[in-house]
A and B are shown apart, each in its own frame.
Chain A
């Protein structure tokens, strides 16, 4: 144990020295990137999209980058070991891609100061821990605008996973978008209590359509709700990936998770020695939130959607521009102000007009 410790300390000293030398000579360091996924890459959803980003690193950096991943890592005691094993096996850039990996990431990062860590969707940072997430709510606002135009029954069905700020924020943004063009839209929400159960997600979609919804929105991972929409002759939005193959007649657009550029940029930063701990929350403008082609809608709606997308990218539209009231009628965002990132990050209230209740 002691001998080991000495060895490790020595190794660390040598490594630090080498790093200092390397930086002095501005020599490029090869990237060995490790990824920790919460689900299987075969989920065709969240983890699948991160793996596409991993492949982008290999494609972009060629021989200078190697990557590896561990999939289906439970968000319990195992995460810390997996992250540490990645750090111990020479990975110098580690992406941990689920909120539940936050504490283990920060903990391991303290013990490996020379390894860079990137944690998705969390809020704890350190000298060698960056955080990143995407402003998917911007995409949901665009989707809301389309829905407001497309709905005939004025009822939107929303399949949620769990009532966490990310999902609540998405519902709010969607409804703000819908109301910007059609104040009569109502939303019905079903919580599937799972991120991933195609059958259950599909059943939730059926229940919503049976109760009059003619637009299907989902914040769960599988294409099942959209497939149901296709089958029942209503329209909806894809999640995480472009799901047009599953619903050629029903998909209006999809809010695509697009990590490629960010991942490549961060890997390059490690290569160049320019990596710094940052907090990235990329929206449509950054490319992290990517809208799949607008289909199955009239040209004027398509034009409006494209315009909205462009305006959000340019900053002309902020989905959460005040005044915004919560359900109790309390003014949360003042006239002329936009929601702060902190407010968005922890959003646990519905905006006024949503007829549903959040579990407290």
Chain B
């Protein structure tokens, strides 16, 4: 059992950035907007968070900066796709190219800087409980935030009026508009929420997961976050499960290698991707359910009839 607790701890840190970014993207997509720029927004969040933390010494300020930076990035996207009705897929990819370049430019002065990692929670009695203590009560607050946010998003979508409106906008923008909702305004907000969460995910990388800045440090996690939203069939519960499954298999394959499993490492590295596909195939077989969850208007520009 000795190995189990540290394994779980590693899985939590590996899954948290994916969960943060994909929770944001889920809301964005539910409103009918497909923003493929998650990777770029994460990178800009990561450097903003790191730069502000390193300069000010305050991680809180850094995290706020990351959130704002992610939102500003998403605003570029929203303006282009929602106001100017540019193509969402292409604009999202362009946003990633822009974000990679922008973060590298800003970050060139911060290469090789070291900062204190985000402190973990420590509640005297609770954290010291054997086995579960550290897992439940010893994480840094972004980990708790990622869980809280995914639950909050689940609650928002299923139990609140706002959630209903958001889904209505994503499923049929013309009807939503006809009833009197401001489709564009709602999509702007959903997109900015996605940007804020991607910024947070970036901050988690540069402040907690691996406290440093290096170019392109997201290494493709934004893409995985995007895939996870599809994997989850746009449901927050499944998103949580998906992010942790991906994290678990990524970490398990490393453990298996370390334990001396004699399979070429490239095949081990394929496992998280293959597992995601296989599980998606299994859960997708029920056609009707997916229809209900997939936002029908995803990726489509909206222009109210006049």
> Total interface residues on B, using CB and 8 Å?
42
Check if B265 sits within 8 Å of A359, measured CB to CB: yes
CA distance A41 to B31 in the complex (A): 39
Q: Which residues of A contact B205 (CB under 8 A)?
A: 198-199
User: Do A193 and B269 contact each other (CB < 8 Å), given the known contacts A199-B209, A199-B219?
Assistant: yes
Check if B260 sits within 8 Å of A222, measured CB to CB: no
Check if B217 sits within 8 Å of A198, measured CB to CB: yes
Instruction: Please tell me if A44 contacts chain B, counting CB pairs below 8 Å.
Output: yes
CA distance A208 to B256 in the complex (A): 10
Check if B210 sits within 8 Å of A202, measured CB to CB: yes
- B64-116 with Cβ < 8 A to chain A: 104, 107-108, 111-114
Instruction: Please tell me if A269 contacts chain B, counting CB pairs below 8 Å.
Output: no
CA distance A206 to B205 in the complex (A): 16
| B107, B210, B220, B259 interface centre (most CB from chain A within 10 Å) | B210
User: Do A42 and B210 contact each other (CB < 8 Å), given the known contacts A157-B258, A203-B10, A203-B250?
Assistant: no
| The stretch of A57-65, A73-81, A183-191 that contacts the partner chain | A183-191
User: Do A42 and B107 contact each other (CB < 8 Å), given the known contacts A199-B210, A202-B209?
Assistant: yes
Shortest Cβ distance from A162 into chain B, in angstroms?
Answer: 9
Check if A40 sits within 8 Å of B104, measured CB to CB: yes
Check if B112 sits within 8 Å of A245, measured CB to CB: yes
Shortest Cβ distance from B190 into chain A, in angstroms?
Answer: 27
Instruction: Please tell me if A276 contacts chain B, counting CB pairs below 8 Å.
Output: no
Q: Which residues of A contact B117 (CB under 8 A)?
A: 227, 231
Q: Which residues of B contact A231 (CB under 8 A)?
A: 117
Q: Which residues of B contact A188 (CB under 8 A)?
A: 258-260
Across the two chains, which residue of chain B brings its CB closest to A209? B6
Q: Which residues of B contact A163 (CB under 8 A)?
A: 265
User: Do A224 and B215 contact each other (CB < 8 Å), given the known contacts A204-B254, A245-B114, A246-B114?
Assistant: no
Instruction: Please tell me if A96 contacts chain B, counting CB pairs below 8 Å.
Output: no
Q: Which residues of B contact A355 (CB under 8 A)?
A: 260
Shortest Cβ distance from A216 into chain B, in angstroms?
Answer: 12
Check if A227 sits within 8 Å of B258, measured CB to CB: no
Query: 5 A-B contacts, Cβ less than 8 Å apart?
Result: A39-B215, A199-B14, A203-B13, A207-B254, A210-B7
The 9 closest A-B pairs by CB, nearest first: A191-B265, A42-B215, A197-B219, A198-B210, A207-B254, A40-B215, A359-B264, A245-B114, A210-B6
